[in-house]
Chain A
Amino acid sequence: MPELRFEAAEVRVESPDLDGERTILGATTLTLTEQRIGIIGSNGSGKSTLARMINGLITPTSGRVNVDGLDVARRGAEVRRRVGFTFTDPAAQLVMPTCVEDVELSLRRTVKDRVRRKQVALETLARFGLAERAEVSVHALSGGQRQLLALAGVLATEPDVLVTDEPTTLLDLRNTRMVGELLFSLPQQLVLVTHDLDLVRRCDRVLVVEDGQVCYDGEADAAVEHYVRTVSEP
C-alpha cells in the first residue's frame, strides 16, 4: 500500500471576524500505510480538511504531506493522478451531461484514442452496474446511482488511493450498503471519511478528529467507542 505521510502538517485560514488566523487543523504527524483507513469526527472537526490534504486540494500552511514521497504541495498534479477523491454530493462533481461522457472525461488523460476511451468508459460503467444508464442524463439517476457514477468516474483511471468524503451521507440504507460493499471490495488503499459507524468498523485503522486535532488513532472498535464517549460527555 502507498505511504501517506503527514509531517507536522497544519492548516490555518485568515478569519475575517477574528482579525487573524483560525486553525482548521493543528499540526498533525501521521504515517498511514494500512489498506482501509477510516476518519470520523463531528461536523467542522477538520476531518474533511485532513482528507483533502491527501491529494493537495488543501495544502498545509506549514509542515508537509507526502504520498509515497511525493510532496502534495509541490507535485500536486502527479499526486492527484495517483489519489482519487470523491465528494459527499455527487451532483457537484459530475460535470458532463451523460454518464458515459462523465467517465470519458476522467479518462481523457490516460486514454488518448477516442473510440477506445468510450469503450473503456462503457466497461467501467458495466463494472459499477450502470451499463444501461450510459447515455442517460446524470440528472435522471437516483442518488445511489449518482454516487456510484462519481466513484466510477474516479476509479476509471485506476488510482492507487481512493479518498472518499462522506460517500453515504446522502444515501438511503439500501444504497449505503451497496456503496459500502463496493468500497470494501476495492483492491486500492481506501481513506474513508464518514459518519457511518457501522461502515467505519470495517476499517483497519481509524482516526478520530475533534477540534482540529487527531484525538484518537487506532483499531476501529476502540476508536468508535472513544468517539461515542466524547460525543456523550457534556
Chain B
Amino acid sequence: MTKSSIKLRAQIKNGVTTVKALISHPMETGLRYNKKTGQPIPAKFIKNVKCLSNKKVLLNSQWGIAVSKNPYVSFRYSGGNTGDIIEFSWIDNTNQSDSIEAKVK
C-alpha cells in the first residue's frame, strides 16, 4: 500500500471537534516557467476538497491556484463523538484524487 497523500487528525475537546488535514500536493499554478528550458510548467492544483463525518458533508470547498503548496486546512464542528469516522478527500484539475479516513480522538 502506498502512503496516502493526506494526513488527517480529528480531536474532540469540550464537545467541539477540530479537524486538521495536511495534503501533500504540488499546487502548481500553471503560471511558472522552467528556468532552464523556458517551458511553462503545467498547472496541477486541487479543485475540490470534501470532508464527511458519518456520511454527512461537513466541509465542501473549491480551491484555486492560490492555495499554498502542500495545503493545510483546519475547521471545527460541534456534535461529534469519539470514534466517529471522518472521511476526507480531494480531487485536482488532472482528475487525480485521494481520500483518507480517521477516527475522532
Do A and B interact with each other, yes or no? no
